[in-house]
């Protein structure tokens, strides 16, 4: 099964399979009927598809006509499909759904008018062909709309306009299959039964009733007999939906028994419209398909839920704006109070009033005296007292200035923290491309509960490329819980291969995250050399993935060397990792780390920060820098240098974060390093990258040769990290 899945991922195989399906569609539906007339299913199929697939459908219809000797009877439909192929040939490869519908309707009308004119029946058939063309064009529009949304969103949405389009397509093609006239079995009934019982099992009574009713309507378009036989499907789906939590075999048995019993009670005819064998085949297909069914490609989220989410996001966004407004008002008030304090400085007091020589000696103004070199008269008899008083006043001035500076820094730090709070709320309010799957989450909880490791809460979502991410929340008492065991249990229950992210703890809860392997991954190597005379490197680095599989590679260089620098750099990387894994935006996380570093102590301490964020779904690399050394990227045959003149983390209250995005492809390399690497070594590193060498050897050579390229004899800690973009084996 896995080899077959890997083979189907090959582009050539997928193209051949899609062309074969288009050919089969044209072959099967060209001999069907609808509402007492010839069906337009194959015409609408050709109109909705692109040029190559429309040609394949036309070929299938021609082969069917030749093999059954019915070319003359279906000449109008065959000609219409030929016109559609010709129109698509001249209209280009990109056609909107509306254009597909118009092309289909016009081609059907032209074909019908041409044939009717040749046989002399144009006036009588004009109204019929007009209606036939409009119906075929509308169905073609619905099909093209669904193919367009499916290609863009990678998901089948059964809500809103898409839901209506799917209903139209399902009715037309199910009714067409009803008219095939196979011996002893009805293809339309088999399809309708399989879909109805699957909907009842997956979505309960509502799903079974709706799909059963639509199937019955499709049967009514064929003949009253088929409608009477299919009238039991909604009732059977209603009752079968109540037992959907049991095994698929039980649901199938109940649905089949209800269909047989209700058909007997209603007195359904027992001739060619007998559905007994069709029920058995349809429920058998359901039993075989139920274990593999997933809502990964199917969305039933109603519009009202999306509106509720949007409303909640608006409230959060408004709250963030309120916080920003309060911050701005606080800054203005602080500035006004500071100005008032400056204006209210008391007048300089006069001294020497009690001196006996006060009338003959000029008075000395202490407030106006120079702090560094006070101009005290040499003839003053109270020179000593004046110097002591001046010393006290100077100490008071210094203390006042320090207090003002501290207040100003505290106000700036508070303002920055309020700004960060607003950014965090704004980030939470932003619409994320995640589609929740309640069915998958319930299945995970059921699987884990059966093994005694049930979580407090579970969340399962599909991202923009339909890759599953799972979040489980436990109390902090379960910190020692094995992530690998939980992963294996979920993988067995879902039949998927999952990867576990690092656990994240809050004050009260433990979060475990798992995700499907993405298409791309990274290979990371690092090498470090301590500064001369030290045993501990002041650089710190880490490699981790968040809950969705996005990879982060971080590097921080602490101020100086040794243990004190290592403490600062390790604090920066550890805080960033915890905040990002907790769900914070990476740029906001850097600003939060900067705020912590600024306020952690009175001593000056800072560290550079360099981070690489790799999105494995879009293979996009985001570089973030705060006072860090340049980064070299090898993309194709080019080597790009990325640098930014920003301050390190912990120097100023408002963090400076440089970000840049770069598109990558398989085989690209990235070299990041600390300040211990001199720019004199850059040509050497470029040469290594251009030589298509092994990434591990490049990292090792760069670190070993750092001392040889250093500009001074004083060495610094050296850390080199190499990253190579790869594709996972299952996608190769």
Token look-up 């019993």 returns: 261
Based on the fold, state whether residues 540 and 672 are members of the same structural domain: yes
Based on the fold, state whether residues 279 and 317 are members of the same structural domain: no
Helix ranges (H only) for 266-345 are 276-289, 303-343
Q: Write out pLDDT tens, residues 156-174.
A: 777 777 888 889 999 999 9
Where is average pLDDT lowest: 231-240, 327-336, 343-352, 604-613? 343-352
Mean pLDDT, rounded, for 1-9: 52
Q: How does residue 604 score in pLDDT terms, banded at 50, 70 and 90?
A: low
- The pLDDT of residue 724: 93
Based on the fold, state whether residues 530 and 566 are members of the same structural domain: yes
- Of 111, 137, 154, the domain-final residue: 154
Inside any domain, residue 10 = no
More confident: 246 or 598: 598
Q: Are 361 and 377 in contact (CB under 8 A)?
A: yes
3-state secondary structure of 527: strand
- The pLDDT of residue 344: 44
The percent helix, strand, coil of the chain (3-state, each to 5) is 55, 15, 30
Token look-up 């700004």 returns: 419
Inside any domain, residue 608 = yes
Q: How far apart are CA 562 and CA 559, in angstroms?
A: 9
Based on the fold, state whether residues 387 and 481 are members of the same structural domain: no
Mean pLDDT, rounded, for 678-700: 86
Total Cβ atoms within 10 A of residue 336: 10
Based on the fold, state whether residues 448 and 531 are members of the same structural domain: no
Based on the fold, state whether residues 102 and 244 are members of the same structural domain: no
Cα three-residue angle 146-151-155, rounded to 5 degrees: 75
Q: Are 515 and 716 in contact (CB under 8 A)?
A: no
Based on the fold, state whether residues 112 and 200 are members of the same structural domain: no
Q: Which CATH number covers residue 531?
A: 3.60.40.10
Q: Are 176 and 222 in contact (CB under 8 A)?
A: no
Inside any domain, residue 19 = no
Total Cβ atoms within 10 A of residue 137: 25
Based on the fold, state whether residues 203 and 111 are members of the same structural domain: no
Based on the fold, state whether residues 508 and 643 are members of the same structural domain: no
- The pLDDT of residue 728: 82
Closest CA to 689 of 725, 635, 629: 635
Mean pLDDT, rounded, for 47-62: 90
Q: Are 323 and 421 in contact (CB under 8 A)?
A: yes
Based on the fold, state whether residues 581 and 634 are members of the same structural domain: yes
- The pLDDT of residue 375: 59
Based on the fold, state whether residues 269 and 216 are members of the same structural domain: yes
Token look-up 């100003």 returns: 408
> Mean pLDDT for the chain?
80
Around 418, how many Cα atoms within 13 Å sit in the side-chain half-sphere? 18
Based on the fold, state whether residues 406 and 537 are members of the same structural domain: no
Q: 386-395, 420-429, 631-640, 710-719: which has the highest mean pLDDT?
A: 631-640
Q: Write out pLDDT tens, residues 261-288.
A: 888 776 655 554 467 888 899 999 999 9
Paired residues of 469 in beta bridges:
461, 515
Inside any domain, residue 28 = no
Cα separations in angstroms, 339 against 325, 342, 345, 408, 418: 21, 5, 11, 12, 23
Instruction: Tell me the residue ranges of DSSP E strands in 385-538.
Output: 435-436, 457-462, 468-475, 498-500, 504-505, 509-516, 520-529
- How is residue 140 written in tokens? 């073609």
Inside any domain, residue 344 = no
Where is average pLDDT lowest: 149-153, 368-372, 577-581, 693-697? 368-372
- The pLDDT of residue 304: 44
Whether residue 438 has pLDDT greater than 70: yes
Q: Are 532 and 715 in contact (CB under 8 A)?
A: yes
- Of 516, 539, 554, the domain-final residue: 516
- Of 516, 535, 568, the domain-final residue: 516
DSSP string, 604-620: ---EEEEEEEEETTTTE
Q: How far apart are CA 17 and CA 28, in angstroms?
A: 16
Mean pLDDT, rounded, for 500-512: 83
Q: Write out pLDDT tens, residues 656-667.
A: 889 999 999 998
Q: How far apart are CA 503 and CA 500, in angstroms?
A: 9
Q: How far apart are CA 158 and CA 423, in angstroms?
A: 35
Whether residue 308 has pLDDT greater than 50: no
Domain range enclosing 464? 435-516
How many domains are contained in the chain?
A: 5
Instruction: Tell me the residue ranges of DSSP E strands in 389-489.
Output: 435-436, 457-462, 468-475
Q: Write out pLDDT tens, residues 282-302.
A: 999 999 988 878 777 777 765
More confident: 420 or 230: 230
- The pLDDT of residue 328: 64
Whether the full predicted model's pTM is greater than 0.85, yes or no, is no
Q: How does residue 6 score in pLDDT terms, banded at 50, 70 and 90?
A: low
Inside any domain, residue 505 = yes
Whether residue 18 has pLDDT greater than 80: yes
Whether residue 346 has pLDDT greater than 60: no
Token look-up 């016109």 returns: 83
Token look-up 């005819």 returns: 269
Helix (H) or strand (E) holding 597: helix 586-599
- The pLDDT of residue 704: 86
- The pLDDT of residue 632: 92
CA 138 to chain centroid: 34
Whether residue 200 has pLDDT greater than 50: yes
Q: Above pLDDT 90, what percent of the chain?
A: 19
- The pLDDT of residue 368: 52
Inside any domain, residue 531 = yes
Whether residue 247 has pLDDT greater than 70: yes
- The pLDDT of residue 374: 57
Q: How does residue 349 score in pLDDT terms, banded at 50, 70 and 90?
A: very low
- The pLDDT of residue 656: 80
Inside any domain, residue 671 = yes
Q: What is the DSSP letter of 649?
A: B
């Amino acid at each position: 099964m896995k080899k077959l899945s890997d083979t189907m991922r090959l582009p050539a195989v997928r193209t051949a399979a899609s062309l074969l399906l288009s050919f089969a569609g044209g072959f099967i539906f060209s001999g069907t009927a609808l509402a007492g007339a010839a069906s337009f299913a194959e015409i609408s199929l050709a109109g909705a598809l692109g040029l190559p697939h429309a040609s394949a459908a036309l070929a299938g219809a021609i082969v069917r006509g030749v093999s059954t000797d019915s070319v003359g009877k279906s000449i109008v439909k065959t000609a219409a499909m030929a016109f559609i192929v010709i129109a698509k040939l001249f209209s280009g490869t990109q056609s909107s759904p509306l254009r597909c519908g118009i092309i289909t309707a016009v081609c059907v009308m032209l074909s019908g008018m041409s044939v009717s004119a040749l046989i002399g029946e144009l006036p009588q058939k004009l109204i019929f062909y007009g209606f036939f063309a409009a119906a075929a064009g509308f169905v073609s529009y619905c099909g093209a709309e669904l193919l367009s949304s499916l290609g863009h969103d990678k998901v089948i949405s059964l809500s809103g306009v898409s839901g209506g389009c799917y209903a139209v397509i399902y009715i037309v093609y199910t009714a067409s299959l009803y008219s095939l006239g196979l011996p002893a079995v009805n293809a339309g009934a088999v399809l309708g039964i399989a879909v109805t019982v699957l909907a009842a099992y997956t979505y309960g009574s509502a799903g079974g009733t709706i799909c059963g009713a639509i199937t019955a309507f499709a049967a009514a378009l064929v003949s009253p007999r088929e409608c009477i036989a299919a009238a039991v499907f909604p009732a059977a789906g209603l009752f079968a939906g109540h037992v959907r939590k049991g095994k698929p075999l039980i649901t199938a048995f109940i649905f089949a028994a209800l269909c047989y019993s209700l058909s007997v009670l209603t007195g359904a005819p027992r001739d060619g419209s007998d559905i007994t064998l069709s029920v058995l085949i349809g429920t058998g297909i359901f039993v075989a398909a139920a274990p593999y069914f997933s809502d990964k490609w199917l969305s039933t989220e109603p519009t009202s839920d999306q509106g509720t989410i949007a409303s909640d996001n608006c409230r959060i966004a408004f709250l963030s704006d309120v916080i920003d407004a309060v911050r701005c008002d606080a800054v203005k008030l602080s500035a006004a109070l500071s100005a008032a304090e400056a204006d209210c400085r008391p007048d300089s007091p006069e001294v020497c009033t009690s001196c006996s020589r006060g009338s003959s000696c000029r008075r000395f103004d202490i407030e106006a005296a120079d702090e560094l070199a006070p101009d005290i008269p040499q003839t003053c008899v109270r020179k000593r007292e004046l110097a002591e008083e001046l010393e006290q006043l100077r100490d008071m001035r210094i203390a006042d200035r320090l207090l003002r500076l501290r207040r100003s820094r505290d106000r700036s730090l508070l303002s920055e923290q309020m700004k960060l709070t607003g950014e965090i709320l704004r980030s939470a309010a932003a619409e994320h491309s995640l589609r929740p799957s309640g069915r998958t989450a319930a299945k995970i909880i059921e699987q884990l509960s059966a093994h005694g490791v049930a979580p407090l809460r579970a969340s399962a979502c599909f991202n923009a490329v339909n890759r599953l991410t799972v979040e489980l929340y436990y109390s902090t008492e379960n910190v020692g819980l094995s992530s690998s065991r939980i992963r294996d249990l979920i993988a067995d229950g879902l039949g998927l291969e999952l990867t576990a992210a690092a656990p994240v703890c809050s004050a009260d809860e433990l979060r475990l995250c798992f995700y499907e392997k993405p298409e791309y991954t990274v290979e990371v190597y690092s090498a470090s050399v301590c500064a001369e005379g030290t045993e501990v490197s002041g650089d710190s680095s880490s490699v981790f993935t968040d809950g969705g599989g996005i990879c982060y590679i971080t590097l921080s260089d602490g101020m100086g060397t040794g243990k004190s620098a290592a403490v600062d750099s390790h604090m920066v990387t550890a805080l960033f990792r915890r905040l990002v894994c907790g769900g914070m935006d990476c740029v906001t996380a850097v600003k939060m780390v900067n705020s912590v570093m600024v306020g952690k102590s009175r001593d000056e301490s800072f560290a550079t920060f360099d981070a690489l964020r790799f999105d494995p779904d879009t293979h996009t690399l985001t570089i973030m820098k705060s006072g860090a050394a340049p980064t070299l990227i090898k993309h194709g045959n080019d080597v790009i240098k990325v640098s930014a003149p920003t301050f390190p983390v912990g120097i100023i209250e408002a963090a400076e974060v440089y970000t840049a995005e770069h598109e990558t492809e398989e085989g690209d390399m990235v070299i990041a390093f600390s300040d211990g690497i001199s720019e004199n070594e850059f040509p050497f590193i470029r040469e290594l990258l251009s030589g298509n060498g092994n990434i591990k050897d490049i990292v090792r050579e760069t670190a070993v040769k750092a001392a040889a390229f250093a500009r001074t004899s004083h060495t610094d800690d050296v850390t080199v990290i190499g990253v190579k973009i790869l594709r996972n084996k299952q996608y190769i």
